[in-house]
Structure 1
Amino acid sequence: MSDTAAAPRVPKRVAAVILNSLKGGVVPRIGLPYITVGREVEIRALLTDLDLIADGGASFRFLVGRYGAGKSFLLQTIRTHAMGENFVVADADLSPERRLQGGQGQGLATYRELVRNLSTKTRPEGGALGLVLDRWVAACGEGDADAAERARASVEPLEELVHGFDFARMLMRYHRAASEGDDEAKSAVMRWLRGEFRTKTEARGELGVSTIITDDDWYDYVKLLAAFLTRAGYRGLLVLIDELVNLYKIPNAVTRQYNYEKILTMYNDTLQGKARHLGIIMGGTPTSIEDRRRGVFSYEALRSRLTQGRFAREDMRDMLAPIIRLHPLTYEELLVLIEKLAQIHAGYFGYELGVTDEDLASFLQIEFGRVGSDSHLTPREVIRDFIELLDIACQNPDLDITALLRDEGAVGAGAPGTGGAGGAPGPDAPFAEFTI
């Protein structure tokens, strides 16, 4: 194989996560730089947004692509980049139980998921709220009157924002509890910030505050959190919300419209300067965005803001527009990806890599030779098959992979596919979209 010696060494724990996640059909939370292929244009555009957020601005983007287009993968890639640049990242997938607005606490459930998944460079797997608060306490100092005064001065500007007075009050309560070594009070403040108090009476009894985070106002607290993070030494907050299709699937039209109204509020806030140090990226399918009857575009105020202008086209995309549409990966890019996976697999299990470039090409020819591969084949299936092949070869050292692939290719040589020998596409053909 080409460039095997130059392949970066992947730590065993990271390699295990990559291989196990991909074989299970999901995007790994760590190790993405080792397997990222393509998407340079999209990544560059989103990294430009991070600079804006760090400067005190705000941004809002939609990532749009069919199932398999790589939305989840790209979201996780940006997540990794952002944490590496000292941003705090919060992510959540929407579901029937988690929406942006709902009569049974679905919006608050999304907020709780975002805060639960709060991640930083030193805590990339979530649960970083306590770490963020302790970093702020350390920056202010603790145990003396001057420290309390510095903490007070730090949060005072937040009081100008909606619900900022109570938010600042809770932060000061946390600072005092940290100075006094009161872990119970610290825990109570974190419960409040996570939106876990069910009633105002419960919050008043434990913290002396009569306000709690609710389904109607949770987004205000996301803006407060973003504004606070810079005081704790971070550059801003990036919020990633995937699976917008779950809003499209809401059967009740009025409930759908309430959710789209919440998106409009977020969109307007970021573009009008009402939010600071905050970036929001939402992922959805073309149908969930552009369907005029049930999608985001069914809300006229959003459709008029998001519709593509007359000058953009396939070969001239506007990467500064609010909607980034993902194009399929090419055959060559997929070839690079499975080569990376073969190197990671060999490094993890500690064997000499015996798969050749010709074997990789033969494998892809077989995959593309499947019946219906031109419309139904996704990288998820290809990657799963490839890792399975590597697993089998690893467990059977005497297996001749070249012969196995030749035999398998001969069986499927006549199957209808995407054209070419054994159904293989040309090197520049787009591959069915990329999701894992």
Structure 2
Amino acid sequence: MNTVPRRIAQTLVNSLKGGVVPRVGLPYVTVGRKEEIEALLRDVDIIAEGGASFRFISGKYGSGKSFLLQTIRNHVLAKNFVVLDADLSPERRLQGTRGQGLATYKELIANMSTKTRPEGGALSLVLDRWINNVQQETAAEAGLAVTDPAVAPLVEKKIAAIMSSLKEMVHGFDFARLLTLYYEAHVTGNDETKARVLKWFRGEYATRTEARRDLGVNIIITDDDWYDYLKLFASFLKQAGYAGMLILIDELVNIFKIPNAVTRQYNYEKILTMYNDTMQGRASHMGIILCATPQALEDPRRGVYSYEALRSRLAEGRFAGEHKDLLSPVIRLQALTQEEMLVLVEKLADIHAQLYGYERRIGQEDLVAFIEIEYGRVGADEHITPREIIRDFIEVLDILYQNPKIKVRELLGSDAFTFAKNAIEEAPTEGQFAEFEL
């Protein structure tokens, strides 16, 4: 195995033991999911060519939904995409009566990421890069230096043409006006106006009066229209030199949990709008991926399928059965095989040994024995998940490292290793929600 940088190895071990998905180092531990990744990356190619895509990823808690999301996120950032991601919660929904939809928009914009700013907060970077690109392209076309005074009016003319293309879209006029204000503030060095424009784009103006006073615009981003601005961002980002925009929304189960049926339906109606826009060509250079548990998706009373217009579009046809259809809007994650889990724990054993600087003691036969113990637990066939196995295995590695006199087989067969002998706990119901998901 290739040497893993110590910082990444530490992040991988700590994150996986804690039951969360690491933001870095995923290629070192990616196992299986090759077909799912390839299917999603085909979507990415379509987005880059000017199309749009919409996908659900459905899987049990701990089955790897969030892991797959982060893997795709890393792939597309490397392809010059902008990624917006958010987890839904009781305070963040797609639609709400108390600003929950706008809260989701704010979270997405706050987490805006690019290849050079993968940790989020890339909005100002994106806008500044756009201006610099326009200036350099215009100067090159005119055969002038960027600092030549003759470039400025040519740049303004090119920006006006870009703004004109955006004005044809819903809310495009005001969006274009704010971009123009940002450009003018950039040229004149007016940091105060730049900060106010960024505040507007982040959805932080509470009233139109405040926005009109600060920026001269009579509109703000609201709970009802925030999604329209994401479509505008997608079109603008292409003009700014990016390949496209990918929106990742996890924890859709928080809509399933909404007790009020009417409120749930409004949220599902927003999903239908997104689905129709991407499928019917009303959005471009934009992809959307939503993650849900099978029950949150398919429950006929409270799930996404309780909204008939979505059920009729998303439900499997008669021929799907046990065969995977990775071209359908819903990707259903199958459990990793025992062979794939064996490959994964071997990777983890190597990373752990590199991190703590010891020669790996746990051999192939020991790894096989560990997997057999995990899958031999009562109920494992139905309920065991990669997250649980990974967490157990890293605990084994930690114990062996700290107690070098203990033999691997003694530990795996000992009464102290009680969690591996017990019947596996049933997966949480939709009313018992895990805090993290791998």
**TM-score (structure 2 length as normaliser):** 0.90
Alignment partner, residue 302 of structure 1: 310
Structure-2 change in CA distance of 1:365 and 1:435 (3 Å): farther
Shift of 1:313: 2.1
Contact 2:373–2:421 under 8 Å retained in 1? no
Q: 2: distance between equivalents of 1:117 and 1:414? A: 42
Q: Secondary structure at the match of 2:167?
A: helix
Name which of 37, 45, 58 aligns with 1:51. 45
Q: 2: distance between equivalents of 1:409 and 1:379? A: 22
Alignment partner, residue 126 of structure 2: 132
Residue type of the alignment partner of 2:2 = P
Alignment partner, residue 233 of structure 2: 225
Name which of 283, 293, 296 aligns with 1:288. 296
Q: 2: distance between equivalents of 1:394 and 1:283? A: 37
241-250 or 8-17, which deviates more: 8-17
Shift of 1:61: 0.7
Shift of 1:376: 3.5
Structure-2 change in CA distance of 1:112 and 1:415 (3 Å): closer
Contact 2:93–2:100 under 8 Å retained in 1? yes
Q: Is 1:261 the counterpart of 2:273 in the alignment?
A: no
Q: Is 1:238 the counterpart of 2:246 in the alignment?
A: yes
Q: 2: distance between equivalents of 1:369 and 1:52? A: 43
Residue type of the alignment partner of 2:394 = I
Q: 1: distance between equivalents of 2:25 and 2:263? A: 38
328-337 or 395-404, which deviates more: 395-404
Q: 2: distance between equivalents of 1:335 and 1:56? A: 40
Alignment partner, residue 72 of structure 2: 78
Q: Secondary structure at the match of 1:130?
A: helix
Shift of 1:300: 1.1
Structure-2 change in CA distance of 1:372 and 1:314 (3 Å): closer
Contact 1:240–1:281 under 8 Å retained in 2? yes
Shift of 1:379: 2.1
Shift of 1:412: 9.0
Alignment partner, residue 197 of structure 2: 189
Q: 2: distance between equivalents of 1:258 and 1:32? A: 36
Deviations 1:12-65 (A, max 9, x none): 222222111111111111211111110111111111100110111111111111
Q: 1: distance between equivalents of 2:422 and 2:8? A: 38
Deviations 1:205-256 (A, max 9, x none): 2111111100000000000000011111111000011111111111111111
Structure-2 change in CA distance of 1:412 and 1:14 (3 Å): closer
Q: 2: distance between equivalents of 1:193 and 1:186? A: 11
Shift of 1:155: 2.5
Q: Is 1:171 the counterpart of 2:165 in the alignment?
A: no
Q: 2: distance between equivalents of 1:399 and 1:334? A: 24
Q: Secondary structure at the match of 1:160?
A: coil
The 5-angstrom pairing of residues 67-146 of structure 1 reads 67-141=61-135, 144-146=152-154
Contact 2:66–2:250 under 8 Å retained in 1? yes
Q: Secondary structure at the match of 2:4?
A: coil
Q: 2: distance between equivalents of 1:31 and 1:261? A: 37
Alignment partner, residue 156 of structure 2: 148
Shift of 1:410: 9.7
Task: Show structure 1 runs of 5+ residues with no match.
Answer: 1-6, 418-433
Q: 2: distance between equivalents of 1:350 and 1:207? A: 57
Q: Is 1:40 the counterpart of 2:34 in the alignment?
A: yes
Q: 1: distance between equivalents of 2:64 and 2:241? A: 32
Q: 1: distance between equivalents of 2:211 and 2:161? A: 25
Alignment partner, residue 277 of structure 1: 285
Q: Is 1:393 the counterpart of 2:400 in the alignment?
A: yes
Contact 2:374–2:420 under 8 Å retained in 1? no
Q: 1: distance between equivalents of 2:3 and 2:228? A: 43
Shift of 1:344: 1.2
Alignment partner, residue 410 of structure 2: 403
Deviations 1:295-323 (A, max 9, x none): 111111111111211222213x2211111
303-312 or 251-260, which deviates more: 303-312
Q: Is 1:327 the counterpart of 2:334 in the alignment?
A: yes
Alignment partner, residue 142 of structure 2: none
Q: Secondary structure at the match of 2:93?
A: coil
Contact 1:338–1:383 under 8 Å retained in 2? yes
Deviations 1:160-217 (A, max 9, x none): 0000011111111111111112222111111111101111111112111111100000
377-386 or 408-417, which deviates more: 408-417
Shift of 1:132: 0.8
Q: 2: distance between equivalents of 1:215 and 1:231? A: 26
Shift of 1:415: 6.7
Q: Secondary structure at the match of 2:12?
A: helix
Deviations 1:322-352 (A, max 9, x none): 1111111000111111111111112222222
Name which of 346, 363, 373 aligns with 1:339. 346
Q: 2: distance between equivalents of 1:168 and 1:416? A: 60
Shift of 1:69: 2.2
Task: Show structure 2 runs of 5+ residues with no match.
Answer: 136-145, 425-435
Q: 2: distance between equivalents of 1:346 and 1:195? A: 47
Alignment partner, residue 428 of structure 2: none
Q: 1: distance between equivalents of 2:199 and 2:262? A: 32
Deviations 1:72-130 (A, max 9, x none): 11111111111111111111111110100000000000001111111111111111111
Q: Secondary structure at the match of 1:225?
A: helix
Contact 1:366–1:409 under 8 Å retained in 2? no
Q: Is 1:353 the counterpart of 2:347 in the alignment?
A: no
Q: 1: distance between equivalents of 2:156 and 2:418? A: 75
Q: Secondary structure at the match of 1:59?
A: strand
